[in-house]
Amino acid sequence: MKYLISTFLVLNYLDIFKNVDVESLKVLGLPDSELQSAINELVKKGFARKINDAITISELGEREIENNRKVLLENCNRKDEFLEYCHMFEEINKDFKDLVTRWQIKEINGELIPNDHSDPEYDMAILECLAGVHEKTMKLLDKISEIFPFLRGYISRFEKAFSLLMSGNLGYMADPDKQSYHTIWFELHETLLKMSGMRRIE
């Protein structure tokens, strides 16, 4: 079962990001040997293609992961509970999107300008709000992980990003080139949407 979960995690990640390098898959927290075995298995079955260090999901792989998600949801025996948690996440997501917008853009004299992070009080006020969002999200993820334990890895990833951010590493809020809070949030959000079958709420 552990091996099957590892292939699911890799294929799910590929389905979200489509084209990735092997190094980026290490964020899944799988042992190197297990990660490599999962990649080899997916390529062997035609669910993914590997060219040098780049890995791309195939159409066959997209159909496979979609079917896997449906099977997991129908067989978890807590489908309604999971869907309720997904709806709860959507509510928290609204608050997080607002925080990210405020983090990236600020209003001065009625004009919207990029936030250059030269005002520590402005940034700290946003981070204080993020602390509340973080607490709610961790509690919700803990409940979700009781249903699907393989999602528990998101907790440690969020905790690391949050710790780095609160220590003054501002790039860990929304830098797309880092395992920032926003990067992880996007991945989790896509995973929950795809697993639940819910549509994105804009």
pLDDT at res. 181 = 98
Taking the C-alpha atoms of 177, 182, 187 and 192 in order, what is their torsion angle to the nearest 10 degrees? 180
Distance of CA 125 to the CA centre of its chain: 24
Enter the pTM of the model: 0.94
Same domain, 113 and 182: yes
Q: Cα 168 to the chain's mean position, in Å? A: 22
Element of type H or E holding 125:
helix 120-147
Q: What is the tally of structural domains in the chain?
A: 2
* Tens of pLDDT, residue by residue, the chain (202 residues): 555 899 999 999 999 999 999 999 999 999 999 999 999 999 999 999 999 889 999 999 999 999 999 999 999 999 999 999 999 999 999 999 999 999 999 988 889 999 999 999 999 999 999 999 999 999 999 999 999 999 999 999 999 999 999 999 999 999 999 999 999 999 999 999 999 998 765 5
Q: Is residue 166 part of a domain?
A: yes
16 and 114 part of one domain = no
Pairing, β 48-51 against β 19-21: unpaired
Q: Which amino acid is at 37?
A: S
Is 115 found in the same domain as 46?
Answer: no
- 148 in the same domain as 108: yes
